Amino acid sequence: MSTLIQAPKLALFCKVVDNFGDIGICWRLARQLVDEHDIDVTLWVDDLRSFQRICPPLRSDAVHQLMAGVTVRHWRDQEGVFTATEVADIVIEFFGCDLPPGYITAMTEKTPQPVWINLEGLSAEEWVEGCHTLSSPPRQSLLKYFFYPGFTSKTGGLLREAGLAQERRQFQSDSLAMAAFLASLGVTASEMATTKVSLFCYPQAPVAALLDAWQRSAHAVTCLVPEGVAQAAVEAFLAAPALPGAVKTQGALTVRVVPFLAQPAYDQLLWACDVNFVRGEDSFVRAQWAGRPFIWHIYAQDENLHHKKLRAFLQRYASDLASLTSFSLHWNEAATMGPDTAANISAEAVTNWPAQWAAFQAERGSMSRRAVDWEQQMAAHGDLGGNLLQFAAAVRRSP
């Protein structure tokens, strides 16, 4: 139970930019605050259709609905007039999404004024520690604090439910449960004996080249890809539409298209596979709680700023895992150009993917051990939701 007794109402504003990453994070956080801290949460979301993909019971045409104890509001525009009584005690804007001006005005009229927090994106860069919990200059008498998720005790930590580790261990220790879950996705008994890979990436990932390498792998690979992911490359391999249930085996590779999964089932997919390809922030964090080797496809930014973020994470996570670092850099087209290199060289054109995969496979044992150690290290920093509420409580107690 949270110590934040005097601030039971929380509003979380989310604008969906990265299809499922933004709403994925906010939805997990909202549910956790309700389930574990008895907080009254209202989640404002501008894109309910993307939200519905990870939460199928959600109605995409509803202005107001209750879902898993969370009040979900459709954030349609920046217009609207609000009263002080409508303002929550804690107001969170995810990743600088800009609150409606009318809501900000109502915040100034509330007594006491709410704790206003900008929940930033996840980064392993060192400067994050210095910016975590800093406030901006006052705006209409309001202070806004910047709260950074991260990988050290000087940040807000990572999003993690209280019972997640136990649930994952129980699932992974039950071979029948894992087999039943995979079978529900169409995976056959022979495919379960292969290297099982989940694939979630952005469209620009060099998927076609990797599928070609997997066909020539020394060990059989079964690739489970959600509908709509890497669609062009998957359909080229299948020579058919990439619809759920579509499957084809060629050489050492079997590609199987699975339905786009709700969050609990997606967690189980990460737990059941041997290697996970993830993207953005939400699935990236979930892969870190899965105890499996993973490859991160980072969200692209202008001037290749995402390469700096990728290298910062790899330096913390994989400094002694050469093949993981190499594969990750090539997967993100960061291997052939440094942060300040202007040359536009395609990593796909120069990468020997069969060699990259063979090296990765050879080091998988070390990666698995690292994944388990890393999970324990990250858990020691507490969880993002709990840390955020503790910070908000401290702000409310301060004069």
CATH number at 180 reads 3.40.50.2000
Q: Give the pLDDT score at 264.
A: 95
79 is catalytic: no
Per annotation, catalytic residue among 47, 227, 267, 281: 281
* 63 CB-near residues (< 8 Å, 6+ apart): 73, 74, 76
- The number of angstroms, rounded, from the C-alpha of 97 to the middle of its chain's C-alpha atoms is 18
Identify whether residues 371 and 301 lie together within a single domain: yes
Average pLDDT on 49-71 reads 94
| Tally of CB atoms within 10 A around 177 | 15
In contact, 143 and 136? CB cutoff 8 Å: yes
Identify whether residues 123 and 176 lie together within a single domain: no
**Mean pLDDT over the full length of the chain:** 93
Helix/strand/coil for 91 = strand
Q: What values do phi and psi take at 9, rounded to 5? A: -110, 135
Q: For residue 126, tell me if it sits in a domain.
A: yes
Q: For residue 110, tell me if it sits in a domain.
A: yes
Identify whether residues 197 and 50 lie together within a single domain: no
Burial of 1 (C-beta count, 10 Å sphere; 0-12/13-18/19+)? exposed
Q: Give the pLDDT score at 336.
A: 65
Per annotation, catalytic residue among 18, 22, 93, 227: 22
Identify whether residues 213 and 324 lie together within a single domain: yes
Enter the tokens of residue 130.
């210095």
3 pLDDT band, cuts 50/70/90, is: very low
Q: For residue 2, tell me if it sits in a domain.
A: no
| Tally of CB atoms within 10 A around 19 | 17
Q: For residue 4, tell me if it sits in a domain.
A: no
Q: What percent of the chain has a predicted confidence (pLDDT) above 70?
A: 94
d(CA 262, CA 175): 22
Identify whether residues 277 and 133 lie together within a single domain: no
Q: Which of the pair, 248 or 397, is modelled with greater confidence?
A: 248
Q: For residue 316, tell me if it sits in a domain.
A: yes
The mean-pLDDT minimum among 13-17, 239-243, 349-353 falls in 349-353
Q: For residue 368, tell me if it sits in a domain.
A: yes
Identify whether residues 127 and 257 lie together within a single domain: no
In contact, 60 and 53? CB cutoff 8 Å: no
User: Which of these, 3, 2, 6, 1, lies nearest to 89 by C-alpha position?
Assistant: 6
pLDDT of 354-391, one tens digit each?
999 999 999 999 999 999 999 999 999 999 999 999 99
Look at residue 328 and tell me whether its pLDDT is greater than 60: yes
Q: What stretch of H or E contains 278?
A: strand 275-279
d(CA 213, CA 53): 31
Identify whether residues 218 and 365 lie together within a single domain: yes
d(CA 377, CA 287): 15
Identify whether residues 240 and 270 lie together within a single domain: yes
Q: Which residue range is the domain that position 15 belongs to? A: 9-160+382-397
Identify whether residues 148 and 184 lie together within a single domain: no
The mean-pLDDT minimum among 17-21, 22-26, 199-203 falls in 17-21
Q: Which of the pair, 45 or 21, is modelled with greater confidence?
A: 45
22 is catalytic: yes
Average pLDDT on 78-103 reads 94
pLDDT of 181-210, one tens digit each?
999 999 999 999 999 999 999 999 999 999
Q: For residue 111, tell me if it sits in a domain.
A: yes
Average pLDDT on 83-101 reads 95
Look at residue 335 and tell me whether its pLDDT is greater than 90: no
Q: What values do phi and psi take at 15, rounded to 5? A: -105, 130
Identify whether residues 150 and 204 lie together within a single domain: no
Q: For residue 202, tell me if it sits in a domain.
A: yes
Average pLDDT on 105-124 reads 95
349 pLDDT band, cuts 50/70/90, is: low
Q: State the total domains in the chain.
A: 2
Q: Give the pLDDT score at 347.
A: 45
Identify whether residues 54 and 82 lie together within a single domain: yes
Look at residue 83 and tell me whether its pLDDT is greater than 80: yes
> Which pTM does this prediction carry?
0.92
Q: Give the pLDDT score at 8.
A: 73
Identify whether residues 239 and 287 lie together within a single domain: yes
